[in-house]
Amino acid sequence: MFPKDMKFTKDHEWVREEDGVYTVGITAFAAEQLGDITYVELPEVGAEMEQGDSAASVESVKAASDVYAPVGGRVCDINHDLESAPELVNQDPYEQGWFFRLEGVRPAQLKTLLDADAYEKYVGEQEH
Amino acid sequence: MTWVPSTAAERDAMLSVIGVQTIDDLFASVPAELRAKSWALPAGISEMAVRARLEKWAARNAGGVTSFLGGGAYDHFIPAAVDALTSRSEFYTAYTPYQPECSQGTLQSIYEYQSAICRLTGLDYANASLYDGGTAVFEATTMAVRLTRRTRIVCHASLNPIYRSMLETHVANLDLELVDGESPEGAACVIVQNPGFLGDIEDFTALAERCHEEGALLVMSFYPISLGLLKTPGEIGVDIAIAEGQCLGVPLNFGGPWLGIMATRKEHVRKMPGRIAAATEDAQGRRGFVLTLQAREQHIRREKAMSNICSNEALCALRALVYLTLLGKEGLRDVARHCHSKAEYLKKRLSFAQILNHGPTFNEFAVRLPRNAEEAADALVSRGFLAGLPLASLGAGEPNDLLIAVTERRTREELDAFAHALEEVCN
Amino acid sequence: MQLSYEKSVPGRRAIALDPLDVPEAVLPAALCRKEPAALPELGELDVVRHFTRLSKLNFGIDSHFYPLGSCTMKYNPKLAEAVAALSGFAHLHPHLSTSPAFWKHCQGAFELIHETEQWLAEIAGMKDVTLQPIAGAHGELTGTLLMAAYHRDRGSKKDTILIPDSAHGTNPASAAIAGFKVLEIPSHEDGTLRLDSVKAAMNDSVAGIMMTCPNTHGLFEPAVAEIADLMHANDALVYYDGANLNAIMGIARPGDLGFDVMHYNLHKTFATPHGMGGPGSGPVGVGERLAPYLPGPRVVKGEDGFELRNLEKSIGRVAAFFGNFMMAVRAYAYMSHLGKDGLRQASENAVLNANYIFAQLKHVYEPAFDLPFMHECVFTAVPQAKKGVRALDIAKALLDRGFHAPTVYFPLTVKESLMIEPTETESRETMDEFCDAMLEIAEAVDSDPESLREAPKTMPVGRLDEVRAARQLNCAC
Ligand SMILES: Cc1ncc(COP(=O)(O)O)c(C=O)c1O
């Protein structure tokens, strides 16, 4: 159910590595819980993040949630498309709906995160 | 029992539906040792007696005097239609429009109010209201801190000293640095007031540019009536405009309820406190209005909310809207023109006193009298005038300094008579 | 309905001033706006019709039962409106209080302030009261600022406030805006706050706790006194959110329960109108510990009448003058008419009415808790939601049946919550009609759920697209 090429946090962020750049977004489960997303606030490019820092926030009509950096690093890119089309997070959370990219990440930090199976199990528990 | 319709028989019937014997059984969860230790209140008095008492108290307050008292609250004329419309119970007995389908009257009026404030200020977004002009300064401050992530707040000398002291109280437990001056360097915001507390009109356009070069915001407290004539916050380059809206059809009310106004630029709207209404459609394509961006607010974001405000001053905002709608485009300019011209006329009649303002003023100015201002003001009450605000009582001037405000309500005869009386008591 | 701006006709006027009777003064062009503000141009009758028609799109207490839990939508007496219109109050300039030279000209207003503070203090068992806070949330902010001043004065660095998860959103927001860290305490599944959960969170950094009692589940907190003792033993303070004071007037008093500081909502318990969301008024009461820090200036009785004084340790002003004074005028009219017995009876009947509604609905809607409710009862529409009808649908279906909806989705601790507070001013017939409507809706959940999901059908508009509103953000024209 969740893509195998990424890692997850218990706060429902995902992170995927490609050529040393780590792309971050929120999972389909989180997007569905929030409902129709109406606004995404992104970090500034160049901002330094520690693992677990509040990096972005996402709002729907009835809810708001912080998005935490799943790993530490420097923000090297943000998804400007979300400014005018926040619905991409609902429509395509793992591709067009990404939030920001980090570089300078210590890969060891990824080990602290959940893989797709563990995350799926975690989400299953949350639903009860 | 007044305001409780149930009869004793009905109460008994209701108790038996509930399945208890007495009303006290319903309070079984309140342990005996926690019951009220005292209840030493007077017995109730009739509606007639309540009115008589309050009429007596009301009569012991200065009435029928010609007022030149301003200092943040002004004696403007309120057209009869403002009271007639806003005292409709469909407005004043309604709650916050959380169910939009049965609150379109409220929501459309908020939308129209926000539109009026945007048109007045030349800014993009306004909220549905804040408590008053003083707390709006605090709200603008925390908004600027959120937007800039800086902690220094610069208060310009033009700011109402009461607002300045309210701000100090509200930020006492925050890690913010309040300084006086006008240097935007490293600051979250510079807070100015236009016209200033002593009435001076300043052009803050250059300060706005300096703020923006330094990455600071310009917050301006404005006087809504003055925008009938004066350069708008939008034209000046203000980021957050705030105001005491009492002058827009809200009675003086001995200090409240009044109306906190706030407007801002497009890019800052997500950090603005307070309720906001927006236009949208239903499934049939009919236009309707809802509260929007609620994710900023306390009921959703809780300790991370942009503000703790919940109840606001909606009915006063409606008064302001009805007032502005009645005045219309030309009417507001006329009121402003009259205020300014009459103040200028009075200024010229006070040659026995020293005018303390060096530049242009709108409808309020400070004078140094040849006599102690409190004494002069006291003496004038019995002649039927509230002469103005003795500035020393707020620590905003010398003992002889008086702040005088003139509204469109004052006639030439009143101005002449006042100038004459003031001169007499000073001699 | 058209906007006033859409009805505007260039050149039309409603209000004309007399011709200017002094020479026209002209300001330098550089200081002036380029264009006049584009306000609507309408005649007086246009304006009167516009707002009269707008008003008719609203539900208000005078026209509809409004059982919003936590909001205490009781009848707003006309007496209060009449006295608030007295010109000796309504047109009184507050700067008369600024200079002692003027004090003799506002003695009636000072007396009203003083008397109202005394009534409120006795009602809640507090030592002193300030009328300055402008609404409940502003009272919370004032109260937490008082707590901060107390701890600062004692050289303590306590920086955390405990708040139950059932609390109103203003509680954590106010504490945070006052500069405190907020630690949320979970409610027990029976809907109350347990001493153990508070103990588990207790440490040296805890400056105090904010509680609501009865809480937002409508339940009296059984451990309230023990929690207060625990706080005091740790030099922490206890705040009372007075939103639910209407349940206990004359029965129990926050001061006697151990609370150090509280706010009153004059627009709930004391019947001042809600005005579409405000103005309200949130006076703050304090016990011995916090009395020295009250905001100022304060009205006190002097030798020649009332005068103003500042307390040496005052936190300063939280409002420019005396808060929403005109709400105090209304509340005073309300209290002095009801008096000692009437106020107690108001609470008794509020609790009676809530339990009467509860008794009629509890077999059909699932109670959120088993403990006895006080002035409001809370149900969960989870069983209905499983059949595809959510609390929101029930709320909208009530509008079609001529009732305002209960509070829904608050408190956040109850899924699909329906929170019903009838208040004491409703008659048995009205409550019966409301219960009939609720029971009929419950039947429709099984027989015709689609009709509920499509509700409301009889309102000026159907359900509005809030997602579109937030994404397109058209907030002014
Ligand atoms: C439990 C509770 N606390 C606090 C508040 C806040 O009061 P106000 O709206 O007057 O700021 C409310 C009102 O909605 C409430 O219900």
Nearest CA to ligand 1 atom 16: C70
User: Quick one: angle between helices C44-55 and B104-121, nearest 10?
Assistant: 140
- State whether B201 and B304 are in the same domain: yes
CA of B293 to the centre of ligand 1 (A): 19
- Provide the shortest C-alpha distance from residue A61 to chain B (in Å): 7
Q: Å from A22 to nearest chain C CA?
A: 29
| Chain C residues inside the 8 Å CB shell of A38 | 467, 470-471
CATH number assigned to the domain comprising residue C373: 3.90.1150.10
Looking at ligand 1, which atom is closest to the CA of residue C71?
16
Residue C374 has pLDDT above 80, yes or no: yes
Assess if residue B26 is contained within a domain.
no
Is C154 inside a domain boundary?
Answer: yes
Nearest CA to ligand 1 atom 12: C243
Query: Nearest C-alpha of chain A: how many angstroms from B239?
Result: 20
Q: Which domain holds residue B317?
A: 81-321
Is the domain of B166 the same as that of B238? yes
The rounded radius of gyration (Å) of the Cα atoms in chain C is: 25
Q: Judge if the beta carbon of residue C281 lies within 6 A of ligand 1.
A: no
Residues C118-151 as b/e (b if ≥16 CB within 10 A, e otherwise) read ebbbbbbbbebbbbbbbbbbbbbbbbbbbbbbbb
**Does residue B101 fall inside a structural domain?**
yes
Q: How confident is the model at residue A1 (pLDDT cuts 50, 70, 90)?
A: confident
Q: Which DSSP symbol is given to C41?
A: -
Residue of B246, B168, B248, B230 whose CA lies nearest to B193: B230
Q: Contact, B204 vs B226, CB < 8 A?
A: no
Tens digit of each residue's pLDDT (9 = 90 or more) over A39-97: 999 999 999 999 999 999 999 998 999 999 999 999 999 999 999 999 999 999 999 99
Distance CA C239, CA C209 (A): 6
Q: Is residue B368 part of a domain?
A: yes
Nearest to B255 by CA among C320, C296, C306: C320
Say if A109 is an interface residue toward chain B (CB within 8 Å): no
* C168: Cα separation from own chain's centroid: 11
Q: Which atom of ligand 1 is nearest to the CA of B311?
A: 9
Whether residue B214 is contained in a domain is answered as yes
Q: Is the CB of B310 under 6 A from ligand 1?
A: yes
CA distances from C262 to B31, C118, C127, C149, C284 (A): 21, 15, 11, 15, 6
Phi, psi of C210, rounded to the nearest 5 degrees: -110, 125
> For ligand 1, is residue C374 a contact (CB within 6 Å)?
no
Considering its fold, how many domains does chain C have in total? 3
Which ligand 1 atom sits closest to the C-alpha of C281? 10
- What is the pLDDT at residue B366? 98
Residue B98 in contact with ligand 1 by CB distance below 6 A = no
Who contacts A88 (Cβ-Cβ below 8 Å, separation ≥6)? A79, A81, A82, A96, A97
Where does a domain end: B286, B321, B356? B321
* pTM for the full predicted model: 0.97
Ligand 1 near B299 CB (within 6 A): no
Indicate which CATH number applies to the domain containing B344: 3.90.1150.10
Q: Do residues C236 and C180 lie in contact, with contact meaning Cβ atoms separated by under 8 Å?
A: no
As for how many domains chain B has, the answer is: 2
Whether B352 and B384 map to the same domain: the answer is: yes
B382 and B352 together in one domain: yes
- Chain A positions in Cβ-Cβ contact with residue C466 (cut-off 8 Å): 61
Question: Do C21 and C90 belong to one domain?
Answer: no
Residue C423 Cα to ligand 1 middle (Å): 16
d(CA C255, ligand 1 centre) in Å = 20
Return d(Cα C55, Cα C60) in angstroms, integer.
Answer: 9
Judged by CB atoms closer than 8 Å, whether chains meet at B300 and A41 is answered as: no
Residues 6+ away with beta carbon under 8 Å from C313: C149, C153, C292, C293
Give the number of other Cβ atoms within 10 Å of residue B235's Cβ: 17
Q: Do A87 and C471 touch (CB under 8 A)?
A: yes
Burial of B18 (0-12, 13-18, 19+ CB in 10 A): buried
B388 in a domain, yes or no? Answer: yes
Name the fold adopted by A7-126: OB fold (Dihydrolipoamide Acetyltransferase, E2P) (2.40.50)
Q: How far is the CA of C195 from the centre of ligand 1 (A)?
A: 25
C-alpha C49: how far from chain center: 31
Is the domain of C180 the same as that of C113?
A: yes
pLDDT of residue A18: 93
Place of tokens 């009739």: B46
Ligand 1 nearest atom to the CA of residue C70, by list position: 16
Is B99 close to ligand 1, i.e. is its CB under 6 Å away?
A: no
ω before B224 within 30° of 0 (cis)? no
Distance separating alpha carbons of residues C445 and C418, to the nearest angstrom: 15
Query: Do B382 and B279 belong to one domain?
Result: no
Of B270, B300, B304, the CB nearest to A63: B300
Residues C311 and C392 occupy one common structural domain = no
**Does residue A63 sit at the B interface (CB-CB below 8 Å)?**
yes
Establish whether residue C137 lines the binding site of ligand 1, counting it when its CB lies within 6 angstroms of any ligand atom.
yes
Predicted local distance difference test score (pLDDT) of residue B62: 85
Give the other-Cβ count within 10 Å of C12's Cβ.
16
Rounded distance between C-alpha atoms, residue C388 and residue C4, angstroms: 40
Residue labelled with tokens 């509930």? B18
B160 within 8 A of B199, measured Cβ to Cβ:
no
pLDDT of residue C163 exceeding 90, the answer is yes
Q: Which of C409, C466, C471 shows the shortest C-beta gap to A86?
A: C471
C168 within ligand 1 shell (Cβ under 6 A):
yes
The three-class DSSP label of residue C143 is helix
- Any ligand 1 atom below 6 A from CB of C243: yes
Question: What residue of C is the nearest CA neighbor of B27?
Answer: C374
What does the pLDDT read at residue A126?
A: 79
Measured between CA atoms, the residue of chain A closest to residue B291 is A61
Question: Helix B47-59 vs helix C107-124: angle between axes, to the nearest 10 degrees?
Answer: 130
What is the distance in angstroms between the Cα of B50 and the nearest Cα belonging to chain C? 6
Provide the pLDDT for residue C334: 98
* CA-based nearest residue to A95, from A9, A7, A21, A26: A26
The rounded Å distance from CA C284 to ligand 1 centre is 13
* Percent of chain A scoring above 70 in pLDDT: 98
Whether C323 and C359 map to the same domain: the answer is no
Q: Which three-class secondary structure state does DSSP give residue C401? A: coil
* C327 alpha carbon – ligand 1 mean position (Å): 16
A73 Cα–ligand 1 center, Å: 42
Which run of H or E residues covers position C358? helix C325-361
Please state the domain extents for chain A.
Answer: 7-126
Residue of C40, C17, C324 lying closest to B79 (CA atoms): C17
Which of the 8 DSSP states describes residue C473? -
Among B293, B321, B349, where does a domain finish? B321
Q: Do A39 and B294 touch (CB under 8 A)?
A: no
What are the chain A neighbours of B304 within 8 Å (beta carbons)? 64, 66
The mean per-residue pLDDT over the stretch C315-337 comes to: 98
Interface touch B303/C337, C-beta < 8 Å = no
Asked whether residue C289 falls in the same domain as residue C368, the answer is no
Q: What is the block-wise mean pLDDT of chain B (427 residues), using blocks of 10 residues?
A: 92 98 97 97 97 97 91 98 98 97 98 98 98 98 97 98 98 97 98 98 98 98 98 98 98 98 97 97 97 93 94 98 98 98 98 97 98 96 96 96 98 98 95
Residues C131, C228: one domain?
yes
Distance CA C163, CA C171 (A): 7
Peptide bond into C456 cis (omega under 30): yes
Tell whether C290 and C369 lie within a shared domain.
no
Q: Which of C286, C317, C337 lies at the terminal end of a domain, its last residue?
A: C337
- Decide if B285 touches C, using CB distance below 8 A: no
Which residue in C27, C64, C169 is closest to B340 by CB distance?
C27
Which of B270, B300, B304 is opposite residue A39, by nearest beta carbon?
B270
CA distance C80 to chain A (A): 36
- B340 is a domain residue: yes
**Burial class of B19 by CB neighbour count within 10 A (0 to 12, 13 to 18, 19+):** exposed
Name the residue among A60, A19, A23, A53 with its Cα closest to residue A39: A60
Q: Are residues B70 and B174 in the same domain?
A: no
Q: Does C103 share its domain with C221?
A: yes
DSSP string, C178-244: TT-EEEEEPPPTTSS--HHHHHHH--TTEEEEEEESS-TTS---TTHHHHHHHHHHTT-EEEEEETT
Q: How far apart are the CA of C277 and the centre of ligand 1, in A?
A: 11
Torsion sign across C-alpha atoms A84, A87, A92, A97: positive
In a domain, C464, yes or no: no
DSSP 3-state of C317: coil
- Quick check: is B24 in a domain? no
Domain encompassing residue C409: 348-453
Mean pLDDT of chain C: 97
A37 alpha-carbon distance from chain centroid: 14
- Measured between alpha carbons, how far is B216 from B181 in angstroms, rounded to an integer? 14
Tell me, yes or no, if B157 comes closer than 8 A to chain C by beta carbon.
no
Question: What pLDDT, on the 0 to 100 scale, is given for residue B1?
Answer: 65
Contact C106, C97 (CB under 8 A): yes
Q: Of C260, C151, C277, C273, whose CA–CA distance to C211 is shortest?
A: C260
CATH code where residue B132 lies:
3.40.640.10
Contacting partners of chain B (3+ CB pairs under 8 A)? A, C
Question: Which H, E and C letters describe chain B, residue by residue?
Answer: CCCCCCCHHHHHHHHHHHCCCCHHHHHCCCCHHHCCCCCCCCECCCHHHHHHHHHHHHHCECCCCEECCCCCCCCCCCCHHHHHHHCCHHHHCCCCCCCHHHEHHHHHHHHHHHHHHHHHHCCCEECCCECCHHHHHHHHHHHHHHHHCCCEEEECCCCCHHHHHHHHHHHCCCCCEEEECCCCCCEEEEEEEECCCCCECCCCHHHHHHHHHCCCEEEEEECHHHHHCECCHHHHCCCEEEEECCCCCCCCHHHCCCCEEEEECHHHHHHCCCCCEEEEEECCCCEEEEECCHHHCHHHHHHHCCCCCCCCCHHHHHHHHHHHHHHHHHHHHHHHHHHHHHHHHHHHHCCCCEECCCCCECCEEEEECCCCHHHHHHHHHCCCEECCEEHHHHCCCCCCEEEEECCCCCCHHHHHHHHHHHHHHHC
- CB of B32 within 8 A of CB of C454? no
Q: Which residues on adjacent β-strands are paired with residue B261?
A: B243
Say yes or no: CB of residue C70 within 6 Å of ligand 1: yes
User: Among B296, B321, B346, where does a domain finish?
Assistant: B321
Q: Which of B301, B302, B303 to mutate to test the interface with A (most CBs of A within 10 A)?
A: B301
CA distance B348 to B357: 13
Mean pLDDT of C105-112: 97
Top residue of B111, B205, B311 to mutate, by most chain C CBs within 10 Å, is B311
d(Cα B315, Cα B166) in Å, to the nearest integer?
24
Backbone angles phi and psi of C227, in degrees to 5: -65, -40
Distance B136 CA to ligand 1 centre (A): 19
Q: What is the pLDDT, as a whole number, of residue A128?
A: 60
Whether C304 and C356 map to the same domain: the answer is no
Identify the chains in contact with C, defined as 3+ C-beta pairs within 8 A: A, B
* CA A21 distance to own-chain centroid: 14
Do B99 and B222 fall into the same domain? yes
Residue of C nearest to B324 (CA): C39
B87 and B70 in one domain? no
Given a cut of 70, whether residue C28 has pLDDT beyond it is: yes
Over its C-alpha atoms, chain B yields an Rg (Å, rounded) of 25
What type of residue sits at position B36?
A: A
- Sort C199 into a burial class: Cβ within 10 Å, 0-12 / 13-18 / 19+: exposed
* Helix, strand or coil, per DSSP, at residue C58: strand
The answer to whether the CB of C170 is under 6 A from ligand 1 is yes
Residue B227 lies in a domain: yes
Report whether C144 contacts C238 (CB < 8 A). no
Residues B366 and B387 in one domain: yes
Same domain, B125 and B205: yes
